[in-house]
Amino acid sequence: MENLTPKEIVAHLDQYVIGQDDAKRTIAVALRNRYRRMQLPEEIQNDVIPKNILMIGSTGVGKTEIARRLAKMMEAPFIKIEASKYTEVGFVGRDVESMIRDLASVSLKLVRESENAKNGEKIEAYIENKIIEKLLPPLPTAASEQKKIDYDASFARMQAKFEKGELDHLKIKIEMPPAGLDMDDNGLPPQMIEVQESIAKVLGGINKKGKEKEVTVKQAKSILAQEASAELLDEEKLKELAIEKVEKGGIIFLDEIDKIAVASGSQSRQDPSKEGVQRDLLPIVEGSTVHTKLGMINTDHILFIAAGAFHLSKPSDLIPELQGRFPLRVELDSLTEEVLYRILTEPKNSLIMQYKALMNVEELKLVFDEDALKAIAHFSSVANEKAEDIGARRLHTVMEKILEEISFTADEHKGESYNVTAQLVKEKLGKVVEDEDTTRYIL
């Protein structure tokens, strides 16, 4: 995954996001550059700083969608967050540094999963032994040689049965893992988190022994999986790996960055905390060290991708220092009728597919005529021109409008098929779209 070529990354995104080639290319190159950097000798590596990206495009053209798809694809620690949810240190809300702590948690989870997968066999064996020991009567310490041989034989027999799943229904008593304190980042300042952690350690020491509970072997397997991985994996090692992964490959997608820009035209500086957030962001984007529960994390090489519609403000309304830290700018295109048509039909899980699947639950077959699809794209595009341009989200409102009746009564039409024709689309939308005012309210 880490060494996907730019072309491969773009090809993957193409399955879900139509058009926006510039944005896809820029991101693909930025990701590839991190791979390239990792191949360099160490002394050069440290000088190669990632070039952060700013994606500019009006609402509903696929900014967040690109990030979402990227997140699913990448095995690198990746989080998508809204810049608008942060407040300046000292204000109520989340401080900016918490994004690094979130990223660290994501990384730890990734590392744990991959280590679990690597140790899959060991973990299975641990679980198997644990369960079979519970099922067999224990061997007395002073057992004769013969007894020991017998025990081993029945152990082997049980193993065979276990592997076939023949024991799944049996009941055994196992110790439940102690209920851990919820240690997710909850916006506490770092000092408080330390206190919280030490309290958790003390409590963990007290109720180390969980309660015993009777469960089936099948349930025990999943309960013991946790215990097995705690037993077999070295927690400190995991933390080290997780930190390394964040520092070298972490990606933060800062969505809605325009919401923390203060529009130059606005008379009042409505929200003093916006500029504060921007200033708080500077050191993190530039590279600083943040205290997390895994340890100190250096943010020098974390890649930031910021995105915003910039309807009410412009990139130049961000404080200059922050603008300078996002040297790569890409603009996303607004969606034309042709692109809307492709968005409707081409992506792997296109809107049309989704509606078909939903109606399929009611055993109703939805059929769209080619002309109807063209008409839907056409009316969506017209509505975008006449009212606000809300990009591909217009397709959602238009589809709802067309299908509202059949959606309501689908259960009465089991086994039938419902044909969406261009005629139907016109009937439902023609009037609405003709008149600008109704477009504003209805679509």
Ligand X SMILES: Nc1ncnc2c1ncn2[C@@H]1O[C@H](COP(=O)(O)OP(=O)(O)OP(=O)(O)O)[C@@H](O)[C@H]1O
Taking CB under 5 A as the binding criterion, the range among 60-68, 87-95, 144-152, 379-387 that sits at the site for Mg ion is: 60-68
DSSP state of 410: G
Contacted by 59, from ligand X, Mg ion, none: CB < 5 to 8 Å by type:
ligand X
Q: Does 64 bind Mg ion (CB under 5 A)?
A: yes
The interaxial angle of helices 337-345 and 393-409, nearest 10 deg, is: 50
Quick one: which of 347, 364, 389, 399 contacts ligand X (CB under 6 A)? 347
Please, how many CA atoms are within 13 Å of residue 412, restricted to the half-sphere of its CB?
Answer: 5
The closest alpha carbon to 364, from 306, 402, 403, belongs to: 403
Quick one: which of 391, 401, 402, 439 contacts ligand X (CB under 6 A)? 391
Kindly tell me which of 63 and 101 has the beta carbon lying closer to Mg ion: 63
Q: Least distance in Å: CB of 332 to Mg ion?
A: 11
Q: Least distance in Å: CB of 62 to Mg ion?
A: 9
Contacted by 394, from ligand X, Mg ion, none: CB < 5 to 8 Å by type:
none
Q: Would you give the end-to-end CA distance of the chain in angstroms?
A: 41
Residue nearest to Mg ion (CB): 64
Cβ-contact 172, 131 below 8 angstroms: yes
Contacting ligand X within 268-307 (CB under 6 A): none
Q: Does 343 bind ligand X (CB under 6 A)?
A: yes
In the β-sheet with 328-331, what is the strand arrangement from edge to edge?
78-82, 251-255, 303-308, 53-56, 328-331
Q: Least distance in Å: CB of 19 to Mg ion?
A: 16
Contacted by 60, from Mg ion, ligand X, none: CB < 5 to 8 Å by type:
ligand X
Please, how many CA atoms are within 13 Å of residue 179, restricted to the half-sphere of its CB?
Answer: 2
Tell me, by CB under 5 A, how many residues bind Mg ion. 1
Alpha carbons 344 and 330: distance in angstroms, whole number? 24
Contacted by 17, from ligand X, Mg ion, none: CB < 5 to 8 Å by type:
ligand X
Taking CB under 6 A as the binding criterion, the range among 102-110, 244-252, 319-327, 385-393 that sits at the site for ligand X is: 385-393
Alpha carbons 55 and 62: distance in angstroms, whole number? 10
Q: Which residue has the tokens 């250096």?
A: 298
Mask of contacts with ligand X, 312-341, x by CB under 6 A? ------------------------------
Kindly tell me which of 338 and 434 has the beta carbon lying closer to ligand X: 338
Quick one: which of 64, 159, 298, 438 contacts ligand X (CB under 6 A)? 64
Cα dihedral across residues 113, 65, 443, 425: positive or negative:
negative
Alpha carbons 14 and 24: distance in angstroms, whole number? 9
Quick one: which of 23, 26, 28, 60 contacts ligand X (CB under 6 A)? 60
Q: Does 364 bind ligand X (CB under 6 A)?
A: no
Kindly tell me which of 64 and 84 has the beta carbon lying closer to Mg ion: 64
* Alpha-carbon distances, residue 225 vs 113, 155, 201, 231 (angstroms): 12, 21, 22, 10
DSSP state of 332: P
Alpha carbons 224 and 256: distance in angstroms, whole number? 42
Residue 83: count of CB within 10 angstroms of its CB: 22
Contacting ligand X within 67-86 (CB under 6 A): none
Mask of contacts with ligand X, 28-57, x by CB under 6 A? -----------------------------x
Kindly tell me which of 250 and 391 has the beta carbon lying closer to ligand X: 391
Q: Least distance in Å: CB of 16 to ligand X?
A: 6
Residue 110 tokens, joined? 């990734």
Residue 98 tokens, joined? 């918490």
Q: Does 84 bind Mg ion (CB under 5 A)?
A: no
Q: Least distance in Å: CB of 428 to ligand X?
A: 21
Quick one: which of 13, 19, 304, 439 contacts ligand X (CB under 6 A)? 19
DSSP state of 392: T
The closest alpha carbon to 152, from 171, 136, 131, 134, belongs to: 136
Alpha carbons 359 and 418: distance in angstroms, whole number? 10
Contact residues: Mg ion, CB under 5 A? 64
Contact residues: ligand X, CB under 6 A? 17-20, 57, 59-65, 309, 343, 347, 391-393
